[in-house]
Amino acid sequence: MSERKENYVISDRRRFVAGIGAASLLIPSWLAEGQEHKEHRTEQPQRTENWTPVNNMRLYLCAFHVAKENPNFQIEAHHYCGHPGGKVHQCVVYDGRGQNSKLLGVEYIIADESYQKLPREEKKFWHPHAYEILSGQLIAPDMPNQGDDIFPELLTTWGKTWHTWRDPSTEFPLGEPLLMWSFGADGQAKKPLIDARDKTFGISTAEIRERRKYFGFPVPKVAMPNSVNDIGNQGIIIEKDKIKATESDKR
């Protein structure tokens, strides 16, 4: 390449970079800015078959995640869940429900029967849901009574959650994926976190907890893990198809 041509290419590249914003570096500016232009929708209509995996996510849940390696890191988590078939449900997890919410990671959910068949080394990645449900922290905002009717069947399920965006306060996802956990007893979740969520949805976690007493057993008291290698404990015991509550903090 001649020096004149090389200088032209470099200059042209500089003009190109200078002419686009950071937000539109990899995608069209109308999409980066969240604008909906009729010409784009007309020229390139969405094909339903291309959006099937996304459209299959029909259950919206809101709860709180806590880093297993650092219980001080807690965050409100918005789940959009679907069932791809088989014995697993899957959710994409965001830090909010607005247009600019950040994709934090994913959560997979399985039944206790499947969990018990996992090797011990794998079980350390799966957290229980019993406390979240009985304490009123896990809600389904789109459903009557914040989803009370669906949660008894989810009491003994387990979730495997990785946040690839470790800290949404950063501009970009940085570092390794973060294994997230669930709260297991009162006093573990920061009260301002719960209060803020209650205000957003106009609900009372305390009232939901009171209402869910009809499930038939007390809220578990399970200590947070001492290390990332600890295995979770639901705080409830299954005996011959009957669920019993326990206040054990053993893992």
Give which of 183, 221, 230, 199 is closest to 73, Cα–Cα: 183
pLDDT at residue 218, as a whole number: 87
Q: Which long-range contacts (CB under 8 A, 24 or more apart) does 77-86 make?
A: 77/104, 77/180, 79/107, 81/57, 81/107, 81/109, 82/53, 82/56, 82/57, 82/58, 83/56, 84/53, 84/56
pLDDT at residue 237, as a whole number: 62
pLDDT at residue 206, as a whole number: 98
Residues of the chain with pLDDT under 70: 1-44, 237-251
Percent of the chain residues past pLDDT 70, beyond the cut: 76
Q: Each residue of 125-175: pLDDT tens digit?
A: 999 999 999 999 999 999 999 999 999 999 999 999 999 999 999 999 999
Q: What would the two tokens of residue 116 be?
A: 């018990």
Give which of 67, 62, 60, 61 is closest to 188, Cα–Cα: 67
Residues 6+ apart with CB under 8 A from 62: 76, 77, 78, 79, 138, 139, 140, 141, 197, 201
Give the chain's length: 251
Strand partners, 61: 79
Burial of 182 (0-12, 13-18, 19+ CB in 10 A): buried
pLDDT at residue 247, as a whole number: 43
Contact by Cβ (8 Å): 161, 92: no
